[in-house]
């Protein structure tokens, strides 16, 4: 079974990449142009597997198109470069809304109070369930590759985080020996972000990362890929942990960042 899956996926990766899909990547994903030619070819192969195995559904009247599918797949597969991957095995469906959508949520306040009610969202990720995205926000996140905000990177980082069955900010690492340093560095950086926000200090990590360790990992992933130079300069240990996990060095690609 597993040998058949590997061979089928390799055949998909070896297919010629459709020129109309390439035009979408070059038009909608500035980050694609920053990749090396080898990385671009690898990403194209991953996209072909991803689009074959995942189902996209338009919501609230959104008509599904190759532009939507390829734009989302391209960003999701950036996280898979240079890594052994089973292509987000717990996730089979991506639901796409045209704009922000409303869902029931719960926020924990001080004193143990939980506030429940409808809230506007631009994305969410479920373990053994779908990823939900706002197409407007997918486009905005992709268009500015250096603003530190990318809903696709964020939600698919959650998928990586939950592959071990726990949504806790500690994804499956390449080696067991890496977990001690991961817990020390990311745990320390998470606590520091909370302290910085309490003291109204500026930080390159979005404040949403202080929600819990899982959100911190997702926010750190966005920052790693979109503000890599600043992250490497201001949070070198965090950068090195993410570099080892993702097996990429975006700060070393020589791209201009704001």
How far apart (Å, rounded) are the C-alpha atoms in residues 210 and 64? Answer: 34
CB 75 within 8 A of CB 28: no
Does the 14-253 domain belong in CATH 3.40.50.12780?
no
How far apart (Å, rounded) are the C-alpha atoms in residues 171 and 162? Answer: 7
> In this predicted structure, which of 58-62, 115-119, 128-132, 149-153 has the lowest mean pLDDT?
115-119
**What DSSP string runs through 109-122?**
PGGG-EEEEEEEES
pLDDT at 11: 96
Three-class secondary structure of residue 258 per DSSP: coil
Span 78-105, average pLDDT: 88
pTM: 0.90
State the virtual CA torsion across 175, 87, 154, 193 in degrees, nearest 10: -10
User: Which tokens go with 22?
Assistant: 């390439």
109: pLDDT strictly greater than 50: no
pLDDT tier at 166 (50, 70, 90 boundaries)? confident
The H or E element spanning position 133 is strand 131-134
Domain boundaries, the chain: 14-253
State the virtual CA torsion across 219, 118, 93, 212 in degrees, nearest 10: 30
How far apart (Å, rounded) are the C-alpha atoms in residues 131 and 123? Answer: 7
């Amino acid at each position: 079974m597993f040998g058949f899956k590997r061979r089928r996926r390799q055949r998909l990766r070896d297919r010629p990449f459709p020129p109309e899909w390439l035009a979408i990547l070059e038009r909608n994903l500035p980050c694609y142009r920053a990749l090396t030619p080898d990385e671009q070819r690898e990403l194209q192969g991953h996209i072909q597997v991803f689009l074959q195995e995942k189902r996209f559904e338009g919501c609230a009247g959104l008509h599904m198109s190759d532009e939507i599918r390829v734009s989302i797949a391209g960003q999701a597969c950036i996280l898979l470069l240079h890594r052994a991957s089973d292509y987000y095995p717990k996730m089979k469906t991506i639901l796409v809304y045209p704009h922000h959508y409303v869902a029931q949520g719960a926020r924990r306040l001080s004193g143990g109070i939980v506030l429940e009610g409808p809230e506007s969202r631009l994305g969410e990720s479920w373990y053994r369930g779908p990823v939900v995205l706002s197409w407007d926000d997918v486009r905005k996140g992709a268009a500015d590759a250096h603003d530190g905000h990318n809903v696709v990177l964020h939600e698919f980082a959650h998928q990586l985080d939950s592959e071990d069955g726990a949504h806790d900010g500690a994804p499956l690492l390449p080696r067991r020996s890496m977990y001690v340093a991961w817990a020390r560095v990311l745990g320390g950086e998470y606590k520091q972000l909370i302290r910085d926000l309490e003291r109204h200090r500026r930080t390159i990590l979005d404040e949403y990362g202080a929600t819990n360790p899982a959100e911190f990992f997702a926010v750190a992933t966005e920052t790693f890929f979109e503000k890599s130079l600043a992250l490497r300069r201001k949070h070198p240990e965090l950068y090195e942990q993410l570099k080892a996990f993702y097996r990429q060095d975006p700060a070393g690609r020589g791209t201009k960042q704001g």
